[in-house]
Structure 1
Amino acid sequence: MEPDRPDERFTLASERTFLAWMRTSLGLLAGGIAMVHLVPEFSTGWVRTSLGLVLLALAVLAALVGMRRWLQVRNALERGAPMPEAKDLWLFAVVIALVAVAAVVVTVLGAV
């Protein structure tokens, strides 16, 4: 008799979600580098550098949150346990929204 194991469809879906987190991380990384090095006309130097560094920090955070979430889901699937809470996902979404609002404010107000 075969031991209980998660359905492959759920495992593959979890892996696709993990890869989406990694794509998000790479996008934030590219955006942070571009903000610091490729858009000198965007606001002032300290605003551009600060926003770029925040994007780079979010890139690291996205990779770590994605890895943590994938491990939690994988463990839940293997044990047949409920899916983990999404508190860290909400926090990540709120932080991204706040960074976006800050970028919009700086863009609308022009050079600060």
Structure 2
Amino acid sequence: MDSEPDPRFTLANERTFLSWIRTSLALIAGGVVLAQLGDHFKGPAPGRALAALPILAGVALSVFAFVHWRKVQRALRTGEPLPPPAFAPVLTGLVVVVGLALAAYIAFG
């Protein structure tokens, strides 16, 4: 049975969604910066390839954030347990891999 949840929980869910969206925008912006800086390193190809990763991660994260927001909202309305953010470990892993790749590229280029 669906019921209207406490507005505080709905607003907290919305704030969480917006924080994931800010993170996705930061990833996309970082990828754009990397694409621009890639031209200044040893040719545009490696820099642009590395830039594509955070941009794609930002796009995927925005989709995952919406799906998660919708699942949480549904759980709040039906009284089910809240779902865990299954994409958080994937995002963490991706940020670590991209960070290590960039560090290696800059250090050993």
Q: Do these two structures clear the TM 0.5 threshold for a shared fold by scoring above it?
A: yes
Counterpart position of 1:31: 30
How far does residue 38 in structure 1 lie from its aligned partner after superposition?
A: 4.3
Partner of 1:19: 18
Gaps of 5+ in 2: none
Give, in whole Å, the separation in 2 of the partners of 1:52 and 1:62.
Answer: 16
- Letter of the structure 2 residue corresponding to residue 100 of structure 1: G
Give 1:40 deviation, angstroms: 2.7
Q: Is the contact made by 1:43 and 1:107 (CA closer than 8 Å) also made in structure 2?
A: no
Give % identity. 31
Q: For residues 1-112 of structure 1, what are the structure 2 equivalents within 5 Å?
A: 4-109=3-108, 111=109
Unaligned runs of 5+ in 1: none
Deviation at 1:32, TM superposition (A): 1.1
Alpha-carbon displacement from aligned partner over 1:20-68 (angstroms, at most 9, x marks no partner): 1111111111111111124532444221011111111011011111111
The number of residues matched between the two structures is: 108
Counterpart CA distance in 2 for 1:46 and 1:39 is 7
Q: TM-score, normalised by structure 2?
A: 0.87
Taking the aligned partners of 2:54 and 2:34, their CA distance within structure 1 comes to: 9
Q: CA RMSD in A?
A: 1.7
Normalised to the residue count of structure 1, the TM-score between the two structures is 0.85
Report Cα offsets for 1:43-94 as digits up to 9, x if no partner: 4422101111111101101111111110111111111100113322212221
Runs of 4+ in 1 over 3 A off after TM superposition: none
